[in-house]
Structure 1
């Protein structure tokens, strides 16, 4: 839950009249949660698909890079179109949308936690 908190904090404190420290605290919260999420995902994948770990890591890297490249294409229009509504907070509303998306995506680990054994039992590649 640190990721949405960091995004909201960064977005709504990134203003010239607000000190730079609160937005850096938000960026640090986001960075910490992104690192922890990445590490737990790698651990989950490597423990779930031990025999095919190289293929799983390659597929994960491919889709992560693909999504990262596509997100970059949408960031500029997102922030430009939403900053016109609030010139005092140029990244506030765009970060709010990303924060709500992060809240929805935070449910994915819970789904894997509660349904992981059932999902792995249906896969012919899992251990």
Structure 2
């Protein structure tokens, strides 16, 4: 989906000239951009990744549900609802990634400490 402004073409005759005559195809044209409201993001791929690979306390799955709701609201042209669900999915994804990374780091540290103490006990 492109978010660039759509251009609108308007045929205008110079003031005071050719009054009463129809506009010709070669007359002056004025183009003005039409500003469109930005479409809110739904974060479906990030939520899917978190639900498959980084799912502490089912946060990734809950974020995936909110992402699907945001996409449904976007299709229904409810941009305020889509934005709300999208922001909730984003926050849940951030929390899921942080908790998942901390869990992995903590697991690695505990394994290193455990095996280092085990090696010192076995090799006096």
Q: If each structure's helix is expressed as a fraction of its own residues, which one has the higher value?
A: 1
TM-score by length of 2: 0.36
Q: Larger relative CO (CA 8 A, sep 6+): 1 or 2? A: 1
Larger Rg: 2
